């Protein structure tokens, strides 16, 4: 339950949410405005406690974050090319296909993008997503899941939607951040596991993909691609999506270290 304390003083009105921001209160107490406020408080007497109305809690603005285009590594960047496994890109279009290699070429089947060895050259379609435009999407308030994302244009099945980017951290940092969030009472997590010791955390830095909510009947999916030796996560449409539809994917959150009271498709 969120509680606030309001002091009605002519001109100055301070709303303090003691459960969410304890660190800020300390800074506030020592600041000039804090000292003045405390002096005023002594003169006024005891504050009155009240519960914040539901509409206020629901209207809580989304947490600010820094927009980034590419992952930022806070851990060692491990580059692993498929060539390291003795697989070299010598793809060419298969007979009867559209004339360029697609996801059915050797590299595509390994979810690795083609390299310069590919005989299709610039027209190659197995170029993962790093050269493809991001779909138009809008940030919205959902009924039950805080902020969410809706498509702002029709999207076709299989099309690339957006890359999931954030800070790439190791397991230890991830655990530290989770504890910190627990202490702050933060319930929104922005974690995506790349492998057993690498997680993309879009809590502080990311793009709109950080707002895509979970559903067990999703319309997009996450795909791991190796692009120039780096594992990157692309979000792709699993069916045709109409403009205005909520974008969702399945978090498969049993892999992560937290649980989620999940609302599914229709209630998001």
Output the 3-class SS for 100-151: CCCCCCHHHHCCECCCCCCCCHHHCCCCCCCCCCCCCEEEEECCCCCEEEEE
**In the bound complex, what is the minimum distance in angstroms from residue 148's beta carbon to ligand SAM?**
6
Residue number, 115 or 147, with CB nearest to ligand SAM: 147
Size of the site for ligand SAM (CB under 6 A): 19
252 binds ligand SAM (CB under 6 A): no
Query: Minimum distance between the CB of residue 104 and ligand SAM, rounded to whole angstroms?
Result: 32
Closest CA to 124 of 152, 145, 154, 104: 104
How distant is the alpha carbon of residue 19 from its chain centre?
25
* Smallest distance from ligand SAM to CB 136, Å: 18
Residues 192-251 that bind ligand SAM (CB under 6 A): 210-211, 213-215
By beta-carbon proximity to ligand SAM, the closer residue of 35 and 139 is: 139
Binding-residue pattern over the window 117 to 146 for ligand SAM, x denoting contact by CB under 6 A? ----------------------------xx
Considering beta carbons, is residue 5 or 262 the nearer one to ligand SAM? 262
Q: Is 38 in the site for ligand SAM (CB under 6 A)?
A: no
Minimum distance from CB of 209 to ligand SAM (Å)? 8
From the CB of 145, what's the least distance to ligand SAM, in Å?
4
CB closer to ligand SAM, 128 vs 192: 192
Confirm or reject binding of residue 190 to ligand SAM (CB under 6 A).
yes
Residue in the shown chain whose Cβ atom is closest to ligand SAM: 146
Verify binding: residue 188, ligand SAM, rule CB under 6 A: yes
Q: Which is nearer to ligand SAM, 36 or 188 (CB)?
A: 188
Residue 185 lies near ligand SAM (rule: CB under 6 A): no
Strands, DSSP E only, in the chain? Answer: 3-8, 13-16, 48-51, 66-67, 72-73, 137-141, 147-151, 160-164, 167-169, 191-195, 198-201, 205-206, 213-214, 220-227, 230-237, 248-249
What one-character-per-residue DSSP string does 178-195 give?
Answer: HHHHHHHT-----EEEEE
In this structure, what are the phi and psi dihedrals at residue 16, rounded to the nearest 5 degrees? Answer: -120, 120
Residue 72: C-alpha distances to residues 43, 45, 67 (Å) = 50, 50, 11
CA distance 126 to 166: 24
For residues 155 and 163, the answer to whether their CB atoms sit within 8 Å is no
- Helix 32-44 with 22-30: angle, nearest 10 deg: 90
Task: Report, in Å, the least distance between residue 241 CB and ligand SAM.
Answer: 17
Residues forming contacts to ligand SAM in the complex (CB under 6 A) are 62, 145-148, 187-190, 210-211, 213-215, 260-263, 268
């Amino acid at each position: 339950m969120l509680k606030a304390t309001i002091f009605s003083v002519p001109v100055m009105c301070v709303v303090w949410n003691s459960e969410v921001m304890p660190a800020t209160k300390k800074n506030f107490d020592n600041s000039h405005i804090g000292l003045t406020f405390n002096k005023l408080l002594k003169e006024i007497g005891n504050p009155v406690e009240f519960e914040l109305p539901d509409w206020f809690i629901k209207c809580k603005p989304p947490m600010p974050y820094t927009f980034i285009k590419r992952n930022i590594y806070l851990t060692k960047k491990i580059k692993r090319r498929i060539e390291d496994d003795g697989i070299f890109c010598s793809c060419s279009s298969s007979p009867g296909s559209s004339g360029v290699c697609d996801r059915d070429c050797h590299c595509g089947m390994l979810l690795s993008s083609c390299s310069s060895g590919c005989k299709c050259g610039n027209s190659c379609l197995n170029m993962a997503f790093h050269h493809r435009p991001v779909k138009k999407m809008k940030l919205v308030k959902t009924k039950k899941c805080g902020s969410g994302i809706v498509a702002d244009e029709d999207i076709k099945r299989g099309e690339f939607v957006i890359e999931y980017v954030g800070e790439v951290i190791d397991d230890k940092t991830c655990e530290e951040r989770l504890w910190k969030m627990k202490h702050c009472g933060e319930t929104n997590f922005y974690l995506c596991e790349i492998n057993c010791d690498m997680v993309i955390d879009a809590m502080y830095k990311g793009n709109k993909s950080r707002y895509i909510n979970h559903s067990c009947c999703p319309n997009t999916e996450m795909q791991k691609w190796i692009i120039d030796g780096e594992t990157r996560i692309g979000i792709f449409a699993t069916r045709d999506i109409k403009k205005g539809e909520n974008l969702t994917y399945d978090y498969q959150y049993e892999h992560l270290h937290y649980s989620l009271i999940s609302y599914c498709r229709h209630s998001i």
